[in-house]
Structures are given as structure tokens and as C-alpha cells.
């Protein structure tokens, strides 16, 4: 069964939605973004989160000490890195690490081979932007990649295309953010529809 991550929670309503819908993972963005939260607000949100749902922190080119401080403060289960973090940097943490790769062409997968992480998140390449583009990448490029960890499909997923993404990529996890939003805010019905499509 493909697991589900809803990324970019920032309101108490978002927490209520996921507690009701029970995705496997939720993401809190600590990198610069319209969905960015700080440590104290994330901690407050997490206090209301169902304990069965795993917590992922999204970071970009942040000092290790700052990442560890946030991870400890929020009790994060997974650290997801979206910037230009080096392989050695990704090895330096005690928690589970996922590294995001922006997929443009076949060359994009060469870089992946250098990383020994628990999860490889495939996102869409957009010049000057790390994640959150709302656009898909050519999924066929990733069909034959070597897997040494979890494969997480991201980038432009929504209820109408997620089943096709699962059919082609066979990911361990699908990751959605803007695809379950309306006017920049998480929408309960879109989240429910996405989760139902995946779990069908």
C-alpha cells in the first residue's frame, strides 16, 4: 500500500483535518516558503496531532545545530532536506533522513547515487525554486532508477493524477501540498479525495 504525506500544515484546522483523515505522514516546513512555520508554532500544532501520524520537518541548507534544535523541540520522526545539502551532511543526523532531488532529465539521477539516505524524494525541477512548484516531472524518467531506500513521489500531485503516478512510479510514499489546497489553504474535501484515490 502506497503511504501518504500531506505537506505544509500551518493552521490548527489543518491538524483537525489530518487527525480525521489519517495520512501516514505530515510535513512542517521550516524553510523559506508561504507554508513556513517556526519552532514554537510547529510545537503547538504538533501537540494537537494524532500520535499515530509521523512528523516530517522540511529544511533547506540550514545549520545542523538549528535542524537538531527544531527536531528535538518538535519530536520529528523524519528530516527532509530540500536544498544543496551534501551527502556527508545528510549522514550526520540520528533521525531518519529523506533527501529531495529535482528531476529535470536522466542526469538528475546520477547525483542520487552519492546519497545514502532512508528516502529519496523526487520533485519537479524549476529554475531557482526548491519544491512547491505544483508541477509534475516526466514520471517515465524514474521508472528504472535503482532503489536503495524509500521512493517518495512529489511535485504537482492531486486527486486526478495520483493514481497514474502510482501506476507508473510505484512509489512507497506520495507527497502532496498545493494539490490539496484552495486559495493557498489546506482544503478538507481535496485532502479527503486525494487520500481516497490513493487508498482505493
Span 180-193, pLDDT tens digits = 999 999 999 999 99
Q: Which of 14, 74, 90, 123 is catalytic?
A: 123
For residue 49, give the nearest of 72, 28, 79, 31 by alpha carbon. 28
Distance (Å, whole) CA 51 – CA 74: 12
What would be the CATH architecture of the domain defined by 3-199? Alpha-Beta Barrel (3.20)
Residue 175 a catalytic site member: no
Span 65-78, pLDDT tens digits = 999 999 999 999 99
Strands 185-186 and 181-182: antiparallel
Residue 7 a catalytic site member: yes
- Statement: residue 127 has pLDDT above 70: no
Q: Can you tell me which residue has the cell 533527501?
A: 99
Amino acid at each position: 500500500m502506497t503511504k501518504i504525506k500531506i505537506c505544509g500544515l500551518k493552521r490548527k484546522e489543518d491538524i483537525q483535518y489530518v487527525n480525521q483523515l489519517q495520512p501516514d505522514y505530515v510535513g512542517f516546513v521550516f524553510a523559506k516558503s508561504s507554508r513556513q512555520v517556526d519552532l514554537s508554532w510547529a510545537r503547538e500544532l504538533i501537540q494537537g496531532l494524532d500520535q499515530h501520524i509521523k512528523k516530517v520537518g522540511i529544511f533547506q541548507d540550514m545549520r545542523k545545530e538549528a535542524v537538531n534544535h527544531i527536531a528535538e523541540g518538535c519530536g520529528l520522526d523524519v528530516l527532509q532536506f530540500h536544498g544543496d545539502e551534501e551527502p556527508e551532511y545528510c549522514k550526520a543526523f540520528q533521525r531518519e533522513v529523506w533527501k529531495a532531488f529535482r528531476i529535470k532529465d536522466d542526469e538528475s539521477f546520477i547525483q542520487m547515487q552519492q546519497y545514502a539516505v532512508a528516502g529519496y524524494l523526487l520533485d519537479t525541477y524549476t529554475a531557482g525554486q526548491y519544491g512547491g512548484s505544483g508541477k509534475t516531472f516526466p514520471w517515465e524518467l524514474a521508472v528504472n532508477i535503482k532503489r536503495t531506500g524509500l521512493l517518495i513521489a512529489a511535485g504537482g500531485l492531486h486527486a486526478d493524477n495520483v493514481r497514474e503516478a502510482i501506476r507508473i512510479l510505484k512509489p512507497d510514499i506520495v507527497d502532496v501540498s498545493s494539490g490539496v489546497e484552495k486559495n493557498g489553504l489546506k482544503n478538507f474535501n481535496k485532502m479527503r479525495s486525494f487520500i481516497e484515490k490513493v487508498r482505493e
